[in-house]
Amino acid sequence: MQTICHLSVLIHEQAKKYGAKPVLTFRNFGSLTWKTVSWNQFSMRVKEVSNALLNLGVKPQETIGVFSQNCIQYLYTDFGAYGVRAISIPFYATSSEQQIQYMIQDAGIRFLFVGEQEQYDKAHRVFALCPTLERIIIFDPSVRISTHDPHALYFEDFLKLGEGFPRQSEVEKCWKEAKEDEICNILYTSGTTGEGKGVVLTHKMYIAAMEANGKCVPVGEDDRVINFLPFTHVFERGWAYLSLSEGAQMIINTYPKEIQQSMRETHPTCMSAVPRFWEKVYIAVKERMDNSSVVQRKLFYHALSVGKKRNITYRSRGKRVPLPLEMEYQVVNKTILSLVRKQLGLENANIFPTAGAYVSPEVEEFVHSIGICMIVGYGLTESLATVSCDHKDEPYTVGSVGRPIDSIQIKIGENEEILLKGPTITPGYYHRDLANAEAFDADGFFHTGDAGYLKDGELFLKERIKDLFKTSNGKYVAPQMVEGMLLVDKFIDQAVVIADQRKFVTALIVPEFRVLEEWAAEHSIAFADREDLCRNEEVHKMMMERIETLQQRLAPYEQIKRFTLLAHHFSMESGELTNTLKLKRSVINKNFQEVIDRMYEE
């Protein structure tokens, strides 16, 4: 049974209900050992944080910042802050000094909580440039504090300020006085086209989102939910709070690169993810099968076709599965498909919400075919994640982004733009009157910038309106759709489509070098380094053949005519990716202008 209440008291209300039941599974910084914390222990730590914050002088609706990767201390801090009506502002663990300085100054942050050495060092360097900043509080006890830093405090010492709950009567007064329309978080968008804006998220939005999502997203107290995305990301944050409101156990994965190992060790039943995770699973499984014996390959692809027929042809359309097919599925599921899930650590898979980018229909069908319930959805920071999603056990269409959640109004405006209104929509951007005036129309609808349409109760996305490329021949090309098609190929790691105001479509492609180097060795292709490999004519010919196969269903004007292989990845350090790994197309166009121009030479 879901608990719907103000976030200031959610953990304490759940502790009354679940007591000694485990809620958080985690590893300490640098440790390989998984530990657990009960609801009672979670509640106690949150109270200590609330008391400690009062002892530091935090007032209602003042701001704190959290600059860390996912960890147990992150959750203690957030819920402790809500308990004293403070506003928690999350920073991506990979944010630059310039970005954190901007956010600290924009939001007037007094206390900044940091994770590891890298975050502490950046915070320490900008401290003198941020007049409002008073303290840096460090989660990882192994961090080396600068000898010239009287403002830093380890989290363990910070907790001692709240030990024994010396200000608990004041904390409880805060709980009683907490209002739903108060600000809970300010989430700064990544800013693919410039400086990020602070999206205001209120407690009222969270309450409405938990209630609406609780009706259609079947996560419950028997689930084990692993974190894949950072808590800074609205998708993970909203999903985590929903899971906690349902009494689910949470597995905190601190290091994103270790997610697959963490899954195999902890056996989660649920996880929210971006499509790129499932694209890599799809590529890895197919590669493994392609390298197996003829008999194994035949058995696997037969099992996959049975899974597709049962889960896509029948179940996705709400049709009853014929008994012979159901019986055959149960056999292949038990003997073959279950082994694929076991390799992922998903023996007891429940639901896997997926959003944040274009989901390739090929990948979506594959995930469902192996017996994993992918819940495709759509949302924004400004909508507190979910606008729409597939509803389990209801018909869904591969290629849609599901059905709207309760309480949200969707209107299709000019240029097929998706417009939103409802209790889960932000009241606006922090201190940005001009941006707010542009984002909301006279009827109070928020303009998403995404194009789409509704059909039979489901929402379908077309493309970001601003991201649509218009070739010099007047044809429109949707780059994300083309890039999504490329990324299901095992030889391709990153891809950027170029087309705007150009005669035809080209692409910058970063190969999956491990796979490409293996292929080169098998074909006796010698190369001195990755640059040499990327210039090789045989490699280029092979890649062109694969690209032509992938884009057969595209219209001629959408197809890639030329491409360049790049020896180095697009990165956040070079400014080519945002903190959420979205492409900054303007930066890429500038950084690779000469390379791009060469592709258009006659």
Confidence bin at 193 (pLDDT 50/70/90): very low
According to the model, what pLDDT value does residue 466 have? Answer: 66
According to the model, what pLDDT value does residue 19 have? Answer: 98
Confidence bin at 568 (pLDDT 50/70/90): very high
According to the model, what pLDDT value does residue 192 have? Answer: 44
In tens, the pLDDT along 174-186 reads 999 999 999 999 9
Amino acid, res. 459: L
Contact between 525 and 532 (Cβ < 8 Å): no
Confidence bin at 392 (pLDDT 50/70/90): confident
Mean pLDDT of the 150-173 span? 97
pTM, entire model: 0.87
Edge to edge, the sheet with strand 446-455 lists 409-412, 417-421, 446-455, 458-464
Confidence bin at 195 (pLDDT 50/70/90): low
Domains in the chain: ranges and CATH:
275-465 (3.40.50.12780), 468-599 (3.30.300.30)
Q: How far is CA 333 from CA 263, 328, 372, 474, in A?
A: 20, 8, 11, 49
Tokens of 304: 């996959």
In tens, the pLDDT along 355-377 reads 888 888 999 999 999 999 999 99
Mean pLDDT of the 208-232 span? 95
If we measure between CA atoms, which residue out of 358, 389, 357, 361 comes closest to residue 376? Answer: 389
Q: Please state the φ and ψ torsions of residue 383, each to the nearest 5 degrees.
A: -110, 15
- 477 vs 355: CA distance, rounded Å: 22
Give, for 510, the enclosing helix (H) or strand (E): strand 505-511
Mean pLDDT of the 424-438 span? 95
Would the pLDDT of 210 be above 60?
A: yes
According to the model, what pLDDT value does residue 357 have? Answer: 80
Mean pLDDT of the 429-434 span? 94
In tens, the pLDDT along 450-507 reads 899 999 999 999 876 666 677 777 777 888 888 988 999 999 999 999 988 888 999 9
Looking at every residue in the chain, the average pLDDT score rounds to 93
Do the strands 198-202 and 183-188 form a parallel or antiparallel pair, or are they unpaired? antiparallel
Would the pLDDT of 425 be above 90?
A: yes
Q: Please state the φ and ψ torsions of residue 193, each to the nearest 5 degrees.
A: -125, 20
- 586 vs 516: CA distance, rounded Å: 28
Amino acid, res. 126: V
- The three state secondary structure string of 436-486 is HHHHECCCCCEEEEEEEEEECCEEEEEEEHHHCEECCCCCEECHHHHHHHH
Confidence bin at 190 (pLDDT 50/70/90): low
- 314 vs 320: CA distance, rounded Å: 6
Contact between 84 and 61 (Cβ < 8 Å): no
Would the pLDDT of 129 be above 70?
A: yes
Mean pLDDT of the 544-571 span? 91
In tens, the pLDDT along 262-316 reads 999 999 999 999 888 999 999 999 888 888 999 999 999 999 999 999 999 999 9
In tens, the pLDDT along 3-55 reads 999 999 999 999 999 999 999 999 999 999 999 999 999 999 999 999 999 99
Confidence bin at 121 (pLDDT 50/70/90): very high
Contact between 249 and 22 (Cβ < 8 Å): yes
Confidence bin at 80 (pLDDT 50/70/90): very high
Q: Any bridge partners for residue 111, and if so which?
A: 64, 135
- The three state secondary structure string of 516-582 is HHHHHHHCCCCCCCHHHHHHCHHHHHHHHHHHHHHCCCCCHHHCEEEEEECCCCCCCCCCCECCCCC
Would the pLDDT of 257 be above 80?
A: yes
93-102, 206-215, 325-334, 465-474: the lowest-pLDDT one: 465-474
Classify the C-alpha dihedral 6-9-14-17 as positive or negative. negative
Contacts with 263 (C-beta within 8 Å, 6 or more apart), sequence order? 226, 271, 344, 345, 346
Task: Tell which wins on pLDDT, 233 or 196.
Answer: 233
